[in-house]
Amino acid sequence: MPELPNPIRAAIFDMDGTLIATEAAHHRSYAKTSHAIGWPLSEEILDSMVGVSRDLNEKMLAQRLGPEFPLARFYDEADALFLAMLDRGVELRPGAVLILEHFRSAGIPMALCTSTEGGLAERRLEKAGLFDYFDVIVTRSDVSRPKPSPEPYLLAASRLGIDPAQCLAVEDSYAGVFSATSAGIATIMVPDLLPATEAMTAAGATVLPSLDALRELLMAPVEG
């Protein structure tokens, strides 16, 4: 397992699928909408959209499905369905509050690094009761090159004033893992919709089954 910084001077978290169980809701809304409009999306396409910003997904869909695919209608109807799901409550990933409280109690600053656009990300955090945990929030609106580019994580570390090599990143998606590891940040992958692959460990990520397992790892006594 790749070594974690010792000490960890900052923690940077992804939002959707890592702290909040919104990737599953997005997946359901995209799948249901695509069937409803007569353009059912394959699981491979749906999986490729996980952890990726809206603008990159729009380009991907347009390239793969062609000009006849009703892109605007698809997103209008999928967004309405997704928001209806959120109105029924925002579910947290298991262990989300405990891991955030772990870092807060240790006095370790935290940043959020998400592919969701600014206002939407902040409202989602507030609805989930997580907004006040973060010293820095980096969204799609803050960068020119979103995940899997390292730019979002480099910006988060810069705004925290911490060397990336002294930070810890927590991610659930392939795009997020590549973004964080290519920024030189020790990265924990806690899979949600996407299973861990050899490519993730080859990129330098440590794979753990849950946020609770991460907390247990951080609380374990250091040997030697």
Q: What are residue 92's DSSP bridge partners?
A: 20
Q: How confident is the model at residue 224 (pLDDT cuts 50, 70, 90)?
A: very low
Percent of the chain with pLDDT over 70: 97
Task: Please write the tens of the pLDDT for every residue from 110-120.
Answer: 999 999 998 88
Helix (H, G, I), strand (E, B) or coil at 168: strand
Q: How far is CA 34 from CA 75, 91, 111, in A?
A: 9, 24, 34
Same-domain check for residues 171 and 111 = yes
Rounded-to-integer distance, Cα 131 and Cα 128, Å: 8
Looking at the domain assignment, is residue 4 inside a domain? no
Same-domain check for residues 64 and 121 = no
Q: What are residue 187's DSSP bridge partners?
A: 169, 205
Same-domain check for residues 82 and 188 = no
Task: Please write the tens of the pLDDT for every residue from 159-171.
Answer: 999 999 999 999 9
Total tally of structural domains belonging to the chain:
2
Looking at the domain assignment, is residue 76 inside a domain? yes
User: Is the pLDDT assigned to residue 22 strictly greater than 50?
Assistant: yes
Q: What are residue 12's DSSP bridge partners?
A: 111, 169
Task: Please write the tens of the pLDDT for every residue from 170-212.
Answer: 999 999 999 999 999 999 999 999 999 999 989 999 999 999 9
DSSP state of 91: P
Please identify, among 65, 87, 109, the residue that sits at the C-terminal boundary of a domain.
87
Looking at the domain assignment, is residue 75 inside a domain? yes
Rounded-to-integer distance, Cα 146 and Cα 202, Å: 21
Q: What pLDDT, on the 0 to 100 scale, is given for residue 220? A: 83
Rounded-to-integer distance, Cα 153 and Cα 176, Å: 9
Cα-Cα end-to-end distance for the chain: 17
Same-domain check for residues 97 and 197 = yes
Q: What pLDDT, on the 0 to 100 scale, is given for residue 89? A: 78
Residues in the chain: 224
Same-domain check for residues 80 and 101 = no
Looking at the domain assignment, is residue 160 inside a domain? yes
Q: Residue 84 — φ and ψ, nearest 5°?
A: -65, -40
Hey, what are 189's tokens? 């992958």
Least confident of 2-11, 29-38, 57-66, 145-154: 2-11
Q: How confident is the model at residue 156 (pLDDT cuts 50, 70, 90)?
A: very high
Looking at the domain assignment, is residue 74 inside a domain? yes
- Report pTM: 0.91
Q: How confident is the model at residue 90 (pLDDT cuts 50, 70, 90)?
A: confident
CATH number at residue 164: 3.40.50.1000
CA 224-201-177 angle, 5° bins: 105
Structural domain of 79:
23-87
User: Is the pLDDT assigned to residue 223 strictly greater than 60?
Assistant: no
Please identify, among 51, 72, 87, the residue that sits at the C-terminal boundary of a domain.
87
Same-domain check for residues 48 and 120 = no
DSSP state of 16: B
Same-domain check for residues 140 and 52 = no
DSSP class per residue in 198-217 = HHHHHHTEEE-S-HHHHHHH
Looking at the domain assignment, is residue 71 inside a domain? yes
Same-domain check for residues 215 and 163 = yes
Looking at the domain assignment, is residue 30 inside a domain? yes
Q: What pLDDT, on the 0 to 100 scale, is given for residue 1? A: 52
